[in-house]
Amino acid sequence: MVEIFPWVFSHTPTSLTPLLATATEAEAPSATLVLAGVLLSLVTIYLASKIGSELCARLDLPPVLGELLGGVVIGVSVLKLLVFPEGGAGAEGSLIITLLEQTAGLTPEGANGVFLAQSEVISVLSELGVIFLLFQIGLESDLKQLIDAGVQSALVAVTGVVVPFLAGTLGLIYLFHVPSIPAIFAGAALTATSIGITAKVLAEIKRLNDKEGQIIIGAAVLDDILGIIILAIVASLAEKGEVEVSSIIYLVLSAAAFLIGSIILGRLVMPYFMGLINKLTTPGTLLIGGLIIAFIFAYIGAVIQLEAILGAFTAGLILGETEKHRELEELVEPIGFMLVPIFFVTVGAKTDLSVLNPAVPSNREGLIIASFLVVVAIVGKVVSGFTLFGGEPVNRIAVGVGMIPRGEVGLVFAGVGSASGVLPESLDAAIIVMVILTTFVAPPLLRVAFQQSEASEASSGEPSKEPAAIAESETTQ
């Protein structure tokens, strides 16, 4: 998430400079027209979300994949209904802004201001969506199981970071003769894992609280922390040509102190907090109290340069240990239905498929490099599942596949690299292609991996985990 990284703001892409200058010189955007643009954007997002998820559900594919594809259809790649300035687009490229000009009296002079304000509001709602998603995942997760899976999650996370980073960096240097700093940056982009996408799929297929699900979630959380540290390193390397060791030490210590301290402090404070909630009589007290905790933790995670979603996830874990966690889950769920699709559709809308067009000469080299990066991205994460040990049978392939999607985290790496100017056009396109393909192939592959496991259990006479998972889901509802 770009908003989380302070150094991103100091590197405004040159493609946005004229747009921002124009917006500054233009008339201030009308609040009414900005609201109108946001409302049209939300209508478009919700329609794309429901149509896409419904089609995928009928094809026995994860609904989240439909939300991503729905975003692609309405986004910069196809209909251009929902576009964002990060890709260099302006008001003239947005059909929603065009509609406002034709129906709401928006002037061409004020179009850029409304476009920027509307885009920012949708981006903020998208961030809130992923915060709610991780808060829900934390509520539904079992902290004890997550701690029990800690060592195995750490092995998966470290392997899933080291293998693709080394393979990607060395391969780019020695096979494609890419200079060292861009190669390191691209290799770093291979280390990310999108916890939001994987967690949503695991919840949809009722595997979130299985052993595999807990290992994947734990590893994805650690992956995010390691990814932030690596991003800080490569951003410093790209900006200054050297790494600030003090910044890296700060990030490592902050991450450890935040996660461990939050859990310990939460266990001490939550009984008093819940006691206060029980004494209050006004409607919505439990929901508002839970949201306050989630937002405070998300805020702390953001200001200490960790991800806000990690703070929200931690808050969910802590509140998930209280006696009212089931009730809180039911209260938060409708808000998730409203906000979470905005995140996934927005990720799809920002995905520019034009980088896949081989007819564009500048794309060809990028596609060749992208093919290499995609292979490394998939294999590097799948092998991480085979580092698992112990007597209890675990679906190692499913664990590895669950770590594949790069999603919004990979887009952050690409965005920072593009903004800093360290990545050549072909390599920037290759990273985007890698992010696109890993994001879209992971959900169906994860479902297939678990289906094969169920088939294997059935043929060997072992009981399947699915009935228990379904029963747990029904109890939750």
State the average pLDDT over residues 151-176: 91
Q: Which residue has the tokens 């966690």?
A: 325
Domains contained in the chain, number? 2
Shared domain check, 309 and 183:
yes
Q: Which of 256-260, 382-386, 464-468 has the highest mean pLDDT?
A: 382-386
Shared domain check, 72 and 110:
yes
* pTM for this predicted structure: 0.72
Domain carrying residue 54: 31-122
pLDDT digits (tens, 9 = 90+) for 96-118: 999 999 998 888 888 999 999 99
Shared domain check, 213 and 88:
no
* 25 inside domain: no
Rounded distance between C-alpha atoms, residue 317 and residue 311, angstroms: 10
Shared domain check, 118 and 133:
no
Given 122, 156, 172, which residue is the final one in a domain?
Answer: 122
* 286 inside domain: yes
Rounded distance between C-alpha atoms, residue 451 and residue 206, angstroms: 12
Q: Cβ contacts of residue 248 below 8 Å, gap of 6+?
A: 229, 232, 233
Shared domain check, 372 and 446:
yes
Rounded distance between C-alpha atoms, residue 278 and residue 273, angstroms: 9
Paired tokens of 166: 């080394």
Shared domain check, 329 and 227:
yes
Q: Cβ contacts of residue 217 below 8 Å, gap of 6+?
A: 137, 141, 146, 153, 195, 198, 199, 202, 208
Give the residue among 172, 60, 181, 119 at the shortest CA–CA distance from 443. Answer: 60
What pLDDT is attached to residue 443?
Answer: 83
Shared domain check, 402 and 333:
yes
* 182 inside domain: yes
Averaged pLDDT score across all residues of the chain = 80
pLDDT digits (tens, 9 = 90+) for 325-340: 889 999 999 999 999 8
Long-range pairs for 238-241 at CB < 8 Å and ≥24 separation?
Answer: 238/181, 238/185, 238/417, 238/420, 238/422, 239/7, 239/11, 239/420, 241/181
Give the residue among 429, 435, 428 at the shortest CA–CA distance from 409. Answer: 435
Higher pLDDT, residue 198 or 477: 198
Given 103, 122, 141, which residue is the final one in a domain?
Answer: 122
